[in-house]
């Protein structure tokens, strides 16, 4: 199934802040849910980075979100890593790099 609509929900969490994090690495930072007409992403981020992300979104400095994680199963999947970018480089997503 393919869709060209997506919704990202950002959830700030103080436990992700630098210096507060526990020593064990974070295994997942969110999840995906695929619907008939859209893809929804629910992502956790450090509480202290939210003002910077909102400023970048407001200034239209963020145009693309890259999510890495599990293959969708039953239209759901976990996100292990994500990034926000101004540009999209197709070469960065070649199958050889994964």
Domain membership flag for residue 96: no
What pLDDT digit, counting tens, does each position of 37-90 carry?
Answer: 999 999 999 888 889 999 999 999 998 888 999 999 999 999 999 999 988 877
Rounded CA-CA distance 80/37 in Å is 24
76 in any annotated domain: yes
Distance CA 62, CA 3 (A): 21
Enter the pTM of the model: 0.79
- Cα angle for residues 6, 61, 97 (degrees, 5° grid): 65
Q: Examine residue 97 and state whether it is found in any structural domain, yes or no.
A: no
Query: Can you read off the two tokens belonging to residue 36?
Result: 């008939």
Q: If pLDDT is split at 50, 70 and 90, which confidence band does 13 have?
A: confident
Number of domains into which the chain is organized: 1
Distances in Å between the alpha carbon of 83 and those of 29, 37, 45? 11, 24, 11
> Do the strands 64-69 and 39-46 form a parallel or antiparallel pair, or are they unpaired?
unpaired
Range of the domain at 10: 6-88
């Amino acid at each position: 199934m393919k869709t060209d609509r997506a919704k990202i929900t950002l959830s700030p969490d103080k436990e992700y802040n630098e210096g507060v994090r526990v020593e064990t690495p974070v295994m997942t930072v969110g999840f995906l849910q695929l619907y008939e007409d859209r893809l929804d992403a629910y992502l956790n981020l450090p509480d202290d980075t939210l003002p910077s992300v909102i400023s970048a979104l407001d200034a239209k400095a963020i145009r693309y979100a890259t999510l890495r994680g599990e293959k969708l199963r039953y239209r759901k999947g976990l996100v292990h890593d994500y990034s926000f970018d101004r540009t999209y480089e197709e070469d960065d997503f070649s199958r050889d790099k994964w």
